[in-house]
C-alpha cells in the first residue's frame, strides 16, 4: 500500500468531505425553520392528541357528552299525576260496589280501562297490522272479563290461558300480510304489552271474588296511585337527580313516591279488620308502589327510545296516559299474588 500523504500545498480540501463521526441531525431547513419533510409529518400524524387547532374532529366527544337534557314540563307532569289519582280512585271505588251477583258495574269500569289501555299502547307502539292487533286486544279484554266473572273457582290460571291464546292470535294476524311479516319480531314486545294489559286488569275482578280481596285491592291500588302521583309531582318541581338526559324523570320522585305510598298503605292497614295489620299492609303497599313507579318509569324510557329512533310520537293525551295505565295494570296481578302469600 502507498503511504498516506498530506494534500498538496495551495490546494483547498473538499467542501463536503464527510467527518469521521456520525452525521449530526438536521435541526431545520435552509431558512432556519423546522423541517417539513415526509418523515416529520408521519411522526406527527401518528402521535395522539397533536391535531391542528382547526381540526373539525376536535371537541367531538365533548359535544356528545354535553347534550342538553330533555326539558321537564311542569304542567304535563301535574296533569299525569292528576290522571293517576283519578284512575286509582275510580278503580278503588268501583271495587267497593262489587259483590256476589252484582259485579256488572265493576266489570264495566274494568272494560273501559282496558279499552283505554289498548288504545294508548297501540297508538304508541304502532305494531304491524295495527287494526288487527287492536281488535285482538279488545276481544281478549272481553273474553278475560267474562272468564274472570264466571270461572269457578275464582283463580288466575284461566286468565293466563286467555293471555296465551290472545297473544298467539295477534301474532298470527300479523303474519297474514306479507308486508307485516318482516316487522313481527321487532314489534313482539309492543304486541305482548297490548294483549297483556287487556288481561291484567281483570285480575281485580277475580280478587273481588276472594275473601279479603276487595280490601287488598284498596290497599295496593291506593299505594300505587299515591306513589305515581307523588313521583310525578316531585318531577314537576325537582326532577333531580336525572336518571337519563332523554327521560324527564328524577330519582327523588321515584324513591319518594314508593316511600309515601308504603306509608299510606300502612295507615290503611291499621283501620282494616283482621288479618290485616299495619305491617302486612305496608308490605303489600311497598310491592304495589314499587311495581307501579318502575312500570311508569319504564314507559318513559320506551318513549325516549322511540323518539331517538325517529319514530313518530303519539298524540299528547294518548302518549302520556301509558305510564299510569301500565303501573296499575302491573299492580293488579301483584295484588293477587300478595293476597295469596301475605294473608
Do 246 and 308 form a contact (C-beta atoms < 8 A)?
yes
pLDDT of 22 reads: 52
Using alpha carbons, select from 210, 213, 193 the residue that is nearest to residue 92: 213
Q: Please report how the helices 130-150 and 104-125 are oriented relative to each other, as an axis angle in degrees rounded to 10.
A: 160
| Cα–Cα distance, 337 to 339 (Å, whole number) | 5
174 CB-near residues (< 8 Å, 6+ apart): 127, 128, 129, 132, 133, 180, 181, 183, 184, 187, 191
Phi, psi of 272 (to 5 degrees): -90, 160
278 CB-near residues (< 8 Å, 6+ apart): 266, 267, 269, 270
Do 303 and 309 form a contact (C-beta atoms < 8 A)?
no
Do 334 and 220 form a contact (C-beta atoms < 8 A)?
yes
pTM above 0.85, yes or no: no
**Residue stretches of the chain with pLDDT short of 50:** 1-2, 4-5, 7-10, 18-19, 21, 27-49, 51, 59-64
C-alpha cell read off for 302: 320506551
Q: Where are the domains of the chain?
A: 80-342
Within the chain, residue ranges assigned H as helices are: 38-46, 60-65, 74-96, 104-125, 130-150, 157-175, 178-181, 188-200, 203-208, 213-238, 251-269, 278-308, 316-320, 322-342
pLDDT tens for each residue of 331-343? 999 999 999 999 8
Q: How far apart are the first and last CA of the chain?
A: 117
Instruction: Give buried/exposed letters for 199-212 (b at 16+ CB in 10 A, else e).
Output: bbbbbbbbbbbbeb
Instruction: Give buried/exposed letters for 28-64 (b at 16+ CB in 10 A, else e).
Output: eeeeeeeeeeeeeeeeeeeeeeeeeeeeeeeeeeeee
Phi, psi of 289 (to 5 degrees): -65, -45
Amino acid at each position: 500500500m502507498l503511504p498516506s500523504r498530506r494534500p498538496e500545498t495551495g490546494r483547498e480540501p473538499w467542501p463536503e468531505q464527510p467527518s469521521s463521526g456520525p452525521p449530526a441531525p438536521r435541526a431545520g431547513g435552509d431558512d432556519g425553520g423546522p423541517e417539513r419533510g415526509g418523515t416529520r409529518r408521519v411522526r406527527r400524524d401518528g402521535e395522539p392528541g397533536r391535531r391542528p387547532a382547526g381540526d373539525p374532529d376536535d371537541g367531538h366527544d365533548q359535544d356528545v357528552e354535553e347534550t342538553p337534557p330533555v326539558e321537564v314540563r311542569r304542567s304535563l307532569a301535574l296533569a299525569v299525576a292528576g290522571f293517576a289519582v283519578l284512575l286509582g280512585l275510580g278503580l278503588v271505588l268501583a271495587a267497593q260496589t262489587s259483590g256476589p251477583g252484582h259485579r256488572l258495574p265493576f266489570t264495566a269500569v274494568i272494560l273501559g280501562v282496558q279499552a283505554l289501555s289498548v288504545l294508548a299502547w297501540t297508538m304508541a307502539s304502532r305494531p304491524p297490522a295495527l287494526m288487527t292487533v287492536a281488535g285482538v286486544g279488545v276481544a281478549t279484554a272481553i273474553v278475560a272479563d267474562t272468564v274472570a266473572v264466571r270461572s269457578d273457582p275464582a283463580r288466575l290460571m284461566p286468565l293466563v290461558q286467555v293471555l296465551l291464546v290472545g297473544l298467539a292470535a295477534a301474532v298470527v294476524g300479523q303474519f297474514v300480510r306479507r308486508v307485516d311479516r318482516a316487522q313481527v319480531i321487532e314489534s313482539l314486545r309492543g304486541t305482548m304489552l297490548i294483549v297483556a294489559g287487556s288481561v291484567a286488569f281483570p285480575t281485580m275482578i277475580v280478587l273481588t271474588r276472594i275473601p279479603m280481596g276487595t280490601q287488598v285491592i284498596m290497599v295496593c291500588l291506593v299505594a300505587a296511585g299515591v306513589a305515581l302521583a307523588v313521583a310525578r309531582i316531585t318531577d314537576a318541581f325537582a326532577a333531580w337527580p336525572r336518571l337519563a338526559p332523554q327521560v324527564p324523570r328524577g330519582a327523588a320522585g321515584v324513591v319518594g313516591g314508593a316511600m309515601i305510598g308504603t306509608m299510606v298503605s300502612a295507615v290503611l292497614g291499621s283501620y282494616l279488620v283482621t288479618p290485616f295489620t299495619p305491617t302486612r299492609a305496608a308490605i303489600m303497599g311497598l310491592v304495589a308502589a314499587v311495581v307501579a313507579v318502575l312500570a311508569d318509569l319504564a314507559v318513559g324510557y320506551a318513549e325516549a327510545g322511540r323518539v331517538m329512533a325517529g319514530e313518530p310520537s303519539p298524540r299528547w293525551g294518548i302518549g302520556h296516559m301509558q305510564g299510569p295505565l301500565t303501573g296499575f295494570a302491573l299492580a293488579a296481578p301483584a295484588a293477587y299474588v300478595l293476597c295469596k302469600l301475605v294473608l
